[in-house]
């Protein structure tokens, strides 16, 4: 039986050919771990508000009368300056109050036609002229009938005058009523126009603000993608050397494991064989006559029994 060796507890160093490469890999790894890391470069930044978004924010401030938006270095809003507290719709509300459009006793007066009095005066003048002509006809008719200056003429003229006065008053009332109703119509139109403007103007401003905010959001999203890609590129640049060292170390480990190594300590003989050697020496000392041949036979015999 061939000689056996106990290799338990023994370590093997890589082959001498590969040891320099292993040392280089270790040095590269230690060097990479010792390289300062820019954590800020590996962390994605947050895109700030774009110019469109900032202008949209200023538009909202103007819409509410807050004044100029103030920001710190990071772009965070810190306050407002120059605010009047007057919203964009306030001038129209003030006009409604100033013009007394909600006062039924005063609101219509500003909308009375400046020519209305002249129209009424001319209309009455013509009415009085026609009334006088008709009254003279009553006298002429009485004269023809031979009753001129009589009681019947007086009664007829009195009745005519009463009817004429009544018709004149009705005409005045009608003209004034038409003027009043026209003034009310103009007042109501003015009130409606101011109310519409109070909502129309802020509505246009809000539409404009929404458009700017939408454009700003698109720009912000694009900028955020750029920042994310930059952080990802920095992470890849940091990880690439480590990945390469890992790949080389894996190749080195595979190759070194396939090649014979150098033991870190001497091989130890099988304890059974060591015991056989010692026993044979003692047997030779006790039986010198048999000499070395007998010892050899004994050793061979024991080896055969062990095997």
Looking at per-residue confidence, does 16 or 298 come out higher? 16
Question: Do 278 and 195 fall into the same domain?
Answer: no
Looking at per-residue confidence, does 261 or 257 come out higher? 257
In a domain, 77, yes or no: no
Q: Each residue of 37-76: pLDDT tens digit?
A: 777 777 888 888 888 888 888 888 888 888 888 888 877 8
Reply yes or no on whether the pLDDT at 115 is more than 70: yes
Q: Which three-class secondary structure string do you get for 133-145?
A: HHHHHHHHHHHHC
Question: Do 303 and 178 fall into the same domain?
Answer: no
Looking at per-residue confidence, does 116 or 7 come out higher? 116
In a domain, 264, yes or no: no
Tokens of 180: 């009043």
In a domain, 100, yes or no: yes
CA 128/CA 215 separation, integer angstroms: 73
In a domain, 64, yes or no: no
Please tell me the least confidently modeled range out of 73-77, 217-221, 293-297. Answer: 293-297
Please tell me the least confidently modeled range out of 135-139, 189-193, 292-296. Answer: 292-296
Location of structure tokens 């009195």: 158
Question: Do 211 and 287 fall into the same domain?
Answer: no
CA 288/CA 17 separation, integer angstroms: 52
pTM of the predicted model as reported, rounded to 2 decimal places = 0.47
Question: Do 124 and 201 fall into the same domain?
Answer: yes
Question: Do 211 and 94 fall into the same domain?
Answer: yes
Instruction: Say what the pLDDT of residue 301 is.
Output: 52
In a domain, 58, yes or no: no
Please tell me the least confidently modeled range out of 23-37, 126-140, 200-214. Answer: 23-37
Instruction: Say what the pLDDT of residue 170 is.
Output: 92
Instruction: Say what the pLDDT of residue 254 is.
Output: 75
Looking at per-residue confidence, does 18 or 59 come out higher? 59
CB neighbour list of residue 67: distance below 8 Å, 6 or more residues apart: 61, 80, 81, 82, 83, 84
Question: Do 195 and 291 fall into the same domain?
Answer: no
The domain in which residue 182 lies consists of 82-215
CB 117 within 8 A of CB 124: no
What is the number of domains present in the chain?
A: 2
Looking at per-residue confidence, does 71 or 12 come out higher? 71
Instruction: Say what the pLDDT of residue 288 is.
Output: 54
Question: Do 193 and 281 fall into the same domain?
Answer: no
Question: Do 183 and 102 fall into the same domain?
Answer: yes
Question: Do 206 and 275 fall into the same domain?
Answer: no
Question: Do 209 and 279 fall into the same domain?
Answer: no
Question: Do 108 and 195 fall into the same domain?
Answer: yes
Question: Do 277 and 210 fall into the same domain?
Answer: no
Last residue of a domain, one of 215, 249, 282: 215
Please tell me the least confidently modeled range out of 13-27, 58-72, 161-175, 275-289. Answer: 275-289
In a domain, 68, yes or no: no
Last residue of a domain, one of 191, 215, 239: 215
In a domain, 294, yes or no: yes
| Banded pLDDT at 214 (limits 50, 70, 90) | very high
Last residue of a domain, one of 184, 200, 215: 215
The phi and psi torsions of 268 (rounded to 5 degrees) equal -105, 130
- Mean pLDDT, the chain, integer: 76
6 three-class SS: strand
């Amino acid at each position: 039986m061939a000689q056996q060796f106990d290799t338990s507890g023994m370590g093997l160093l890589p082959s001498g050919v590969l040891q320099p490469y292993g040392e280089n890999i270790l040095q590269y790894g230690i060097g990479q771990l010792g390289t300062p890391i820019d954590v800020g470069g590996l962390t994605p930044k947050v895109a700030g508000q774009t110019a469109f978004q900032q202008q949209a924010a200023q538009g909202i401030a103007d819409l509410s009368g807050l004044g100029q938006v103030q920001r710190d270095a990071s772009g965070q809003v810190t306050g407002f300056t120059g605010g009047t507290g007057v919203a964009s719709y306030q001038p129209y509300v003030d006009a409604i109050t100033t013009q007394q459009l909600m006062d039924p006793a005063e609101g219509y007066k500003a909308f009375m036609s400046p020519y209305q009095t002249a129209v009424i005066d001319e209309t009455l003048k013509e009415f009085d002229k026609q009334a006088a002509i008709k009254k003279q006809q009553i006298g002429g008719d009485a004269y023809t009938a031979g009753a001129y200056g009589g009681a019947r003429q007086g009664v007829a003229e009195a009745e005519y005058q009463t009817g004429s006065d009544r018709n004149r008053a009705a005409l005045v009332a009608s003209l004034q009523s038409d003027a009043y109703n026209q003034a009310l119509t103009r007042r109501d139109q003015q009130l409606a126009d101011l109310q519409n403007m109070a909502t129309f103007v802020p509505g246009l401003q809000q539409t404009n603000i929404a458009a700017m905010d939408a454009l700003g959001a698109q720009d912000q999203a694009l900028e955020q993608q750029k920042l994310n890609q930059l952080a990802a590129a920095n992470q890849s640049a940091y990880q690439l050397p480590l990945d390469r060292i890992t790949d080389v170390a894996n190749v080195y480990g595979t190759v070194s494991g396939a090649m014979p190594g150098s033991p870190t300590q001497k091989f130890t003989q099988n304890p059974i064989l060591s015991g056989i050697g010692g026993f044979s020496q003692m047997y030779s000392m006790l039986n010198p006559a048999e000499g070395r041949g007998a010892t050899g036979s004994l050793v061979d015999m024991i080896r055969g029994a062990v095997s």
